[in-house]
Structure formats: C-alpha cells, structure tokens
Amino acid sequence: MFDLYIANKNYSSWSLRPWVLMKALDIPFNERLMPFEGGLGASHDTFIRFSPSGLVPCLVDVNDDGELAVWDSLAIVEYLAEQHANVCPADKTARAWARSATAEMHSGFNTLRDECSMNCGVRVELNGLSAKLKTDVARLDALWQQGVERFGGPFLAGEHFTAVDAFYAPVAFRVQTFNLPVSEASQAYVEHLLALPAMQAWYQAALEEPWREPMHETETLKNGTLKADYRKA
C-alpha cells in the first residue's frame, strides 16, 4: 500500500501532481498531509523524517519487504508507471511527446512559478505581465494547443488523463487564480482539468484548510491585488 506525503492543498503544486494522478486513475493510497510550518525550509526537520530530501511530495511504498521512499514528483510518477500501464499514453508517439512535455514542466516555467504561485482559494488581478511571464504563458499556450490538436484531446496526449496532465494540473489552478491570458483552446483544456472529480476534490479540501502560511500569502500578492478569497476558514 502506498503512503503519499503532501503539504497544504491550497499551496503545494508539487504535491498535487502525484495526488491527482493517483486519484484520477484509482491507484489506492493513504494520504499523509503535513502542513507547511513556516517560510522557506522551515518544515525540513519534520519532512526529513519521511522524505530523504526533506521536501514533499514523497511516496512511501509499504510492502512485505519493508518501506521504500520515492521522492520528487517526477520520480514518483515514473515509479507508478512501472506498475500501472495507464499512467502514460499507450501510443509510442504520444508517450514520447508526453514525456517531453512533462520534463519541460518539471524543469521550466520558472517565471510562471515565481510570479504566479499556486494559491487555489483566491483570485488575483495582476498588475501586468512581465516580459518573461508573457514568454512562459505563450509557450504554455502553444504546448497545450499542440498536444490537444495532435492527439485529439480532450487531454494533452489523447482521450485519457495521464501523467502529463497531472503535471499541468497546478498550472490550471494558476490560470484560474490569476486569470492568465490563454487561447480559447487552452482555456477549454483548463476548464476540462478543473472539472475533473479529482481536481474538484483537491480544490474543495483546499478551501476548507485552516492554515495560512505568510510566505505563500505574500508571494501570491507580490505582483497583483486580491480580488476574492473563497477559503472558508
């Protein structure tokens, strides 16, 4: 049985990736939610107890041979793909494209991450888009359109939700929070992702969370103005 260690659903984009993948594909796991304890690095001493990197997410495979920890969202997805064929597209071409798009998300879009941090429960009006953010959004838009058009949609690599969609799921929340300007086709993809039962479950749980972490809250508003806060606590 898997134990998946994650942090706050409202903030933790990296945690969302394996969580939504496993939920959407009905891969059983126990959720272990460990809230952030403060600013950058403040949770390390707690997280290091279950994650070798001191970061989340971390998947712990508990079996007859003991416990095996798999950390980093990309490694977790690859580990799951070895045991569940539906994690990746069946078609060779779609699978190669999806792997490339997944890796690009994992290592790139740094300005998007920096200027539009994930905060599911709020809506923010940006003061404007920096040149680098415009570049990231344009690339994101082009990549999404390419995937949907090339493989027929409604997901990036075809008919079924796979790992590549899980990696862009946090970006869908960012588009919603910051009203990022994407094409009609990309907006349709975003709305399709947001409507998934697994995404709705994550979102509703995020709204119910009682925690407010000052660093994440400050990051959310450093380039814009708060327009709405739908969190219930």
CATH topology of domain 92-202: Glutathione S-transferase Yfyf (Class Pi); Chain A, domain 2 (1.20.1050)
Is pLDDT above 90 for 99?
yes
pLDDT above 90: percentage of residues in the chain: 95
Distance CA 84, CA 4 (A): 16
pLDDT for res 222: 95
pLDDT digits (tens, 9 = 90+) for 180-217: 999 999 999 999 999 999 999 999 999 999 999 999 99
Would you give the DSSP letter of residue 191? H
51: which residues sit within 8 A by CB, 6+ positions away? Answer: 5, 58, 69, 71
Confidence class of residue 132 from pLDDT cuts 50, 70 and 90?
very high
pLDDT for res 64: 77
- Options 3.90.420.10, 3.30.470.20, 3.40.30.10, 1.10.3720.10; CATH for 2-85 is 3.40.30.10
- Residue 6 CA: distances (Å) to CA of 36, 43, 84, 146, 221: 10, 12, 21, 31, 24
Residue ranges of domains in the chain = 2-85, 92-202
Is pLDDT above 90 for 42?
no
pLDDT above 70: percentage of residues in the chain: 100
Q: Average per-residue pLDDT in the chain? A: 96
pLDDT digits (tens, 9 = 90+) for 56-72: 999 999 887 889 999 99
Distance CA 130, CA 221 (A): 15
Query: Which pair of structure tokens corresponds to residue 10?
Result: 């409202």
Is pLDDT above 80 for 108?
yes
Amino acid making up residue 96: A
Out of 41-55, 99-113, 140-154, pick the least confident: 41-55
Mean pLDDT value across residues 72-85: 98
Distance CA 182, CA 188 (A): 10
pLDDT digits (tens, 9 = 90+) for 220-233: 999 999 999 999 97
Residue that wins the pLDDT comparison between 136 and 40 = 136
Is pLDDT above 80 for 102?
yes
